Structure 1
């Protein structure tokens, strides 16, 4: 491929792609570039409390910084360094200087106040020394290191003052440079893959004829995860996965995709088989044991303390994600970061990963107010506001688009909790506890108290059993919640990246779309709060349980879309509710989706595969829509899997194919334990449903290539 990347054809196409992306341009977000003061607390030496405490124990020092003239946050505190007189912090804080700082001599007189803090006899914070420093004479753009003498020890710091700095938020509707670089490498590879599976005559003749193929995979809890095992195996075996540019997931399918990417098991058949066999064993036991595990609660205490150390909110979603990730990806991978997946993706041998969520308000239902969020290993995107944040800054402290304090990057188990947070809303069902009325007791206080008792009585006979019994009583209080903050917080909560921005404008998902009179529009909805310290996210499936919109954005130019829908219950399937909502939401944002004749579809028997297309619009994608329908699978009186990765130890018997998915408690969305037979049935079903439709899909892909070829010829004259 290296020689192709230097070819005239590729360079012309790359220019075309770059110009097309530039059409979406920078957006008019009011942003006055601020001046800033960065203070980095590096290390301390010989911290002395000058008390008898020095004999008993070493101090746990921290530094508080106060700069009262700053715009926005005026105080920051370092983390506490435990049991040391020579602490190492290496923590950076950014103050936004007043807009008139350079011209206002009175403002320049203001000094930074540094407080050296240790713990006293009662473990309370005790300020043992204070010092001041005036940064007004610091040179612009030059970092200066100083030692501050507190008389109780010295602290080394660095200072840097800058003017008119660029924000840490990328305000734009364009795709990021990283995503564009991925496309430049990936789409030539998908061209070669299409040529391999379609043949020289029917495949694309050049890169301009190569369709962008994406997949959007629905929620559905562990049902979706198990089904996605079969989908991934079928796409890998047939070579279709190598033809895809984007892979989007929400809730259960998002768990699968993020786990497969974490394990580098998305395309490699050996790693894929290893992951699927591990996952089959993982879901052979219910997640209830993890959630009610006292040991898990103690482990989570350290996770919670780490977040609170950086003033990050902690909700029950954190705990659910921590427990659930043990079954979805495994403890060896659950604490990795999304950015760790970047090298794997930038090789461009797998599709670009997108996980779907929504930003919401606390007391407004999701349909009345929502803003689409796309979480990738590169950015956290809110396309309706043109806000894009490096994923390493996700859940850091912001003001006026500047990172005041960069917090540790969010872990995979928290991300999986966010994209599957509907299950924390209905946690009682997940752990199979009959729901009773909620009361006002505080679950986390109870848990904290009980864990403290456990530390003291850990070896007491029968204590663990008693603890688990009380956990069941507390979870009995969890109901099918409506208000996201009543009783306990059950919605993912993050630090507000829009803090300090008064006039952020809201756009349609397609910024070139202008709704006609009488059409639904989303631009008039109330948006992000500039004053709140935190904002809320939810499982994208609460709005529509299939993430079609992230890949239908015109910037991504999807030509063919595979949809795998595991989200329905038995009653909903005849109405195709998820499909209908996906179409409605796409059209509300000005995104193209083929015509859906829903009344005609509802009259027909439900089937495993549908094709939707618009013969009159060459820019409208073809949609391949899959369901876990068993009708054709049941017709196989005897069954022997021919997939490459099948478990040779599994014996298929007459009747293996005779089961239902949507009307079965076994495959209910909140069920988290599968027997080997249940697992194999659903995996084989989805593998089968894809395989039997491969030739039909190939013909439609050929049609799209021919359509692009004809359009290219017309444009060239």
Structure 2
């Protein structure tokens, strides 16, 4: 390598093979250092292996300078091939890094893996460590050991020797069987104030341990270490790798498929009555209709009740198979689904209860007595194993504002409300974000249903009762009790998770400031000689870190006041070698990290979940999963600001992602005088749903008490609904809504639905005809 005069060394990191970062020796005062050192990695060829070569300048007085990093896709090297490559680091200065690669086959037995073409779950081994010998002295820590296995589920454990009649339980570690893992052992010295650097320590490479055989290692004259590594199997009766509890697959789960079959019977009968078909539709001709909403706190809660009430009065609610919500509408949904048969009852009684909760004073939810109660429950939640944050406190406050006393309802309990297809299936939405990145730069859609919680992008799902529990490599490691619904409500409406750059983007679409002052530089570089290209390879990249000032600025601007943290059920899972070509992944590939698998799947212990409105305020994304085959979307907007922005953002996003969706852009003239209802469709793409859009506008409702019934002079005031004015009672910040204002907004959204009943019926009739034509076309082909 040719560089300026410096003390250079190179570190190597291949996280899919080893958690350990290795380094060359340092070549001092040399502008053309040569290392001639060899490093070996055992890799899984179905995994995307990206080698990181970091060039550093050693400094004996300060922290070493990280000059740059090269990211190289190892799959570019063919089996049995040796390639000497030069990476062009600075074309102007002719600086380059020369590396020789050799790919050889491994004599190991082929690894058994699970994969959906995007994520890979690898074989897991279990290591047991038992210390023999020694004698524990009372009130002493001299017989205390620390064991660590980097990259394992447990990471590190402390073990204190017991007595001969009560020996200490062995320390256990679960790790990737074919990774280059090491057991690090540290024995504390006897002196009370001993320097930790003087502790006795040793390292045991786990690749050298024979499987299923106990090995004794002498630590010193006093202690022996019994180590045994074994396959993690289903049990003594089934000697095969343990099945994983994370479902890897983009298809709908069997429970949702069963629900849809049952729900289509309900929808078929409803459409027969509404469209006067003469007979129920066969399952293949029943369109899938979904309701999607935007958030907005108490305003959204109230407006959604009115919408659903209007649909029920028109007998259209039984035509709906899905209801998707985010932020404030999740409060409405989670309350409704406590009743297993809510959509078949008169919603008036449920609305009456909601009106009482909306109108009551919320001061008690923030009282000192309540805060003490919250603190007690958060301590209990921490003791149960959860990592609590202010968002959990917010969830308890939401519960106090919307209920009288604790609500023990859980997400999995909502299965009772859909087990016969008697209600639409609820879908709740959140975003997974990362530290030091804005929501615009990185976010991942996470959906929640009574059947599963999972990532749209990765096709990875778990049962809702396991959400929050600890997982490793797709295996359930430690079961935590399922959270009460209030903690989920707090997460779905986490209003305090916005960082400064999220706020900046909300008011200014310019990227110049962010790109110029806070982002690291990542550029594609060439290797010489140029290797044959394959469709699934990732181009070689060079990462140049930003300076200390930029790092400090980024930390300030991207710090979020609070996020909802849950154990990451994707922990340990690696990216498939061809993940970048997977059609389903490409549908949701939309962040700066999607082409950087090492950073994308960094081993994060926790998910960081926030309100999905931080990206755009609509709960549409789960409905666009092609497996759900949604034909008609009833899109209800409850935002207090622009009544077209959420729709336009969704349309633009789906267009960029290549997801079939009609263009929903209104002209400036149309925006000046919005109607109550719009229909958008793409006649050239049968896979695109028909979207019926309802902005939150007060148009003919000002003059009509109900469709066709004009208001009297005394009733005109009830038609005056100030949605977004400066003194509007429906501000998102308002936590209470007086009864009169609640009724006004409830009746407005109810009216807007009923006043456009003919439009909805017309679209449903068209959807049935399109399904019939599609079936006839398939039958004739």
Q: TM-score, normalised by structure 1?
A: 0.69
Matches within 5 A, 1:277-676: 277-290=352-365, 292-328=366-402, 330-333=404-407, 335-423=408-496, 483=557, 485=559, 489-503=561-575, 511=584, 523-524=594-595, 528-569=600-641, 572-573=642-643, 576-599=644-667, 602=670, 605-636=673-704, 653-663=715-725, 664-676=727-739
Pairs aligned (count): 552
Q: Distance in 2 between matches of 1:199 and 1:243?
A: 14
Q: Distance in 1 between matches of 2:617 and 2:633?
A: 16
Q: Distance in 2 between matches of 1:508 and 1:240?
A: 41
Q: Distance in 2 between matches of 1:244 and 1:367?
A: 32
Note the alpha carbon deviations across 1:195-233, whole angstroms, 9 max, x for none. Answer: 1221125x7642222110011111011100001111111
Note the alpha carbon deviations across 1:38-69, whole angstroms, 9 max, x for none. Answer: 99xxxxxxxxxxx9xxxxxxxxxxxx998756
Query: What's the CA shift for 1:347?
Result: 1.6
Q: CA RMSD in A?
A: 4.0
Query: What's the CA shift for 1:372?
Result: 0.7
Query: What's the CA shift for 1:139?
Result: 11
Q: Which has more radius of gyration?
A: 2
Where in structure 2 are there 5+ consecutive unaligned residues?
Answer: 1-114, 130-137, 139-143, 159-170, 180-205, 218-222, 500-554
Query: What's the CA shift for 1:94?
Result: 8.0
Note the alpha carbon deviations across 1:158-190, whole angstroms, 9 max, x for none. Answer: xx9964122221111111111111112112221
SS in 2 for 1:27: coil
Matches within 5 A, 1:127-146: 141-142=234-235
> Which residue does 2:122 correspond to in 1?
32
Q: Please, which of 169, 174, 192 is the counterpart of residue 95 of structure 1?
A: 174
Q: Please, which of 745, 754, 766 is the counterpart of residue 691 of structure 1?
A: 754
Query: What's the CA shift for 1:265?
Result: 6.1
SS in 2 for 1:403: strand
Where in structure 1 are there 5+ consecutive unaligned residues?
Answer: 1-24, 40-50, 52-63, 79-91, 113-129, 144-159, 427-480, 643-650
SS in 2 for 1:353: strand
Using the TM superposition, name which of 212-221 and 662-671 deviates more.
662-671
CA contact (8 A) 1:141 1:161 kept: yes
Query: What's the CA shift for 1:610?
Result: 1.0
CA contact (8 A) 2:117 2:579 kept: no
CA contact (8 A) 1:520 1:588 kept: no
SS in 2 for 1:262: coil
Q: Distance in 1 between matches of 2:374 and 2:216?
A: 40
CA contact (8 A) 2:310 2:754 kept: yes
Q: Distance in 2 between matches of 1:318 and 1:354?
A: 21
Query: What's the CA shift for 1:676?
Result: 0.9
> Which residue does 2:318 correspond to in 1?
242
Query: What's the CA shift for 1:661?
Result: 1.0
**Alignment partner of 1:274 is 2:349:** yes
Query: What's the CA shift for 1:358?
Result: 0.8
SS in 1 for 2:387: coil
Query: What's the CA shift for 1:682?
Result: 0.4
Distance 1:682 1:132, change over 3 A: farther
Distance 1:584 1:103, change over 3 A: same
Query: What's the CA shift for 1:142?
Result: 4.2
> Which residue does 1:436 correspond to in 2?
none
Q: Distance in 2 between matches of 1:187 and 1:390?
A: 24
Q: Which structure features the higher share of helix residues?
A: 1
Q: Please, which of 735, 740, 743 is the counterpart of residue 680 of structure 1?
A: 743
Query: What's the CA shift for 1:560?
Result: 0.3
CA contact (8 A) 1:509 1:553 kept: no
CA contact (8 A) 1:94 1:404 kept: no
Q: TM-score, normalised by structure 2?
A: 0.64
Q: Distance in 2 between matches of 1:214 and 1:289?
A: 37
Q: Distance in 2 between matches of 1:515 and 1:142?
A: 38
SS in 2 for 1:358: strand
Query: What's the CA shift for 1:330?
Result: 4.9
Query: What's the CA shift for 1:384?
Result: 0.7
CA contact (8 A) 1:501 1:530 kept: no
Note the alpha carbon deviations across 1:541-561, whole angstroms, 9 max, x for none. Answer: 111111111112111100000
**Alignment partner of 1:170 is 2:247:** yes
Q: Distance in 2 between matches of 1:274 and 1:332?
A: 21
